[in-house]
Amino acid sequence: MTGMMFSSTIAHCLPQSAMSLSYSRNNRIPIPISSFSFRRRRGNSQNNATNTIICCSTVSTSNSAVNYQNTNTATVGIDGAEVLDCVIVGGGISGLGIAQALSTKYSSRSPNFIVTEAKDRVGGNITTVEADGYIWEEGPNSFQPSDAVLTMAVDSGLKDELVFGDPNAPRFVLWNGKLRPVPSKPTDLPFFDLMSFPGKIRAALGALGLRPSPPAHEESVEDFVRRNLGDEVFERLIEPFCSGVYAGDPSKLSMKAAFGKVWILEQKGGSIIGGTLKTIQERKNTPKPPRDPRLPNPKGQTVGSFRKGLTMLPTAISERLGSKVKLSWTLSSIVKLPNGEYNLTYETPDGLVSVRTRSVVMTVPSHIASSLLHPLSDVAAESLAKFYYPPVAAVSLSYPNEAIRSECLVDGKLQGFGQLHPRSQGVETLGSIYSSSLFPGRAPPGRTLILSYIGGSTNPSILHKASNLSETTVSYGSNPEL
């Protein structure tokens, strides 16, 4: 692309809110190398919108009534229950996903629960905006269509609203001034021009096991990839992937935590290829349980969303849960009672409200969980406080189609999924998603909508630039190819 200008038409078409900073409370991002292990929900190894830290999920078996009275607060009985089975704190996708599972998969146990959310809307990070013929995302852009996420979508009644990206759409990496497609299938590997011939040979030998043995300590993504697959795979594929997708620093991300499915291959089979063969064999020997026939079958390696954006999912789940979802309820304290139950105090529009429950599921950002849990466990609080959330700005810009280089257009549309920029290439933008090519209905006819992410753990200064963000901040420098 060349000559991409943020014209006054675009400013009019996309209100200022399209250029918003999401101070990335992104559960996919903050994975520090640490021996302390939190329970993380893993429906899928990566890009999983439901990935979360369940900070506290304790169930006491005690049913005895508690004589607890706080004179300053109203103690509510919900649905006639004096003590709830569970309170889910946080109405982002994690909290709502758990709530929906309780009301579907575990409905036979009739759990009595509520979901409490500090804001006046559900969704947390998920922020879709629709205006002037555009639909754009200010937080996450899409999800990996794992069966877990598809089940959530189907259970919430959104099966017919699901949209999937074209699995054949190329993904590009900027290298030496040129956008180069990333191999999308094994047969592309010998031919793609993102890596040199010696780089490919090094990667192949390493994948076969001709490389230094794993160290005794937990490795970072950078150390693991350089050791197993060589410098080129790291610098040209994995580093831009980590920056663009995790907004993370691969020298600090834990390989085991961030790419567990690849990490385990070496453990299992002595090398990445050895582990892959072993995994294939294991899968053959252990047939998969039958798949839920209600689930759609997305083709190939793709990503999903909903016709009107990601926000449809939390909204639909919340509507189904009805009065179980409490908006504008900010948890301010948790007290553990002598019988093992918890007393939660909330600031609500109706004043302080106190709720008693047998279990609490925390899905709030870890720094908030840390201060809430401090009175209960110093150790948990200190560990939770260590999680780093890099700041990320999500900037959506619209261009007239004529501003796009004609060779990049197919049937009048910018061809591809998007592009990633290795930090070494001198482009501040981490990567861009061709939103209007990826999913239908994202921009009016004749316009191309591009979502770019800037910042991340290698560029935290973005936090101080928030008010000065402009089209030049996300420009692609002097690269003639972009």
Q: Least distance from C-beta 107 to ligand FAD, angstroms?
A: 22
Give the helix/strand (H/E) hosting 20: strand 19-22
Nearest CB to ligand FAD, comparing residues 119 and 374? 119
Give me the least distance between CB of 246 and ligand FAD, in Å please.
9
Between the alpha carbon of residue 339 and those of residues 70, 75, 353, 357, the distances in Å are: 17, 18, 21, 11
Residue 44 vs 479, nearer CB to ligand FAD: 44
Long-range contacts of 187-194 (CB under 8 A, 24+ apart): 194/236, 194/237
Nearer to ligand FAD, 345 or 448 (CB): 345
CA separation for the pair 193, 435 (Å, rounded): 25
What does the binding site for ligand FAD look like in residue numbers (CB under 6 A)?
22, 24-28, 47-49, 51-52, 89-95, 116-119, 124-126, 139-143, 330-331, 363-365, 368, 392, 394
Q: Shortest distance, CB of residue 50 to ligand FAD, whole angstroms?
A: 8
Rounded least distance, CB 119 to ligand FAD, Å = 5
CB of 275 to ligand FAD, least distance (A): 25
Q: Closer CB to ligand FAD, residue 195 or residue 303? A: 303
CB atoms within 10 A of CB 111: 15
Query: Which residues, 6+ apart, have CB-to-CB distance to 130 below 8 Å?
Result: 308, 309
Please provide residue 274's backbone torsions phi and psi, each rounded to the nearest 5 degrees: -55, -45
- Output 317 or 364, the one with its CB closest to ligand FAD: 364
Q: Minimum Å distance from CB 352 to ligand FAD?
A: 13
| CB closer to ligand FAD out of 22 and 100 | 22
Contact at 8 Å (CB) between 428 and 435?
no
Look at the block and give the residue holding tokens 């893993």: 42
Compare residues 230 and 431 and give the one whose CB is closer to ligand FAD: 431
Please, which residues bridge with residue 393 across strands? 21, 454
Tokens of 379: 């150790």
CB of 344 to ligand FAD, least distance (A): 9
Whole-Å CA distances, 101 to 82, 86, 89, 275: 23, 13, 15, 33
Residue with tokens 């993504």: 221
Other CB atoms within a 10 A radius of the CB of residue 23 amount to: 16
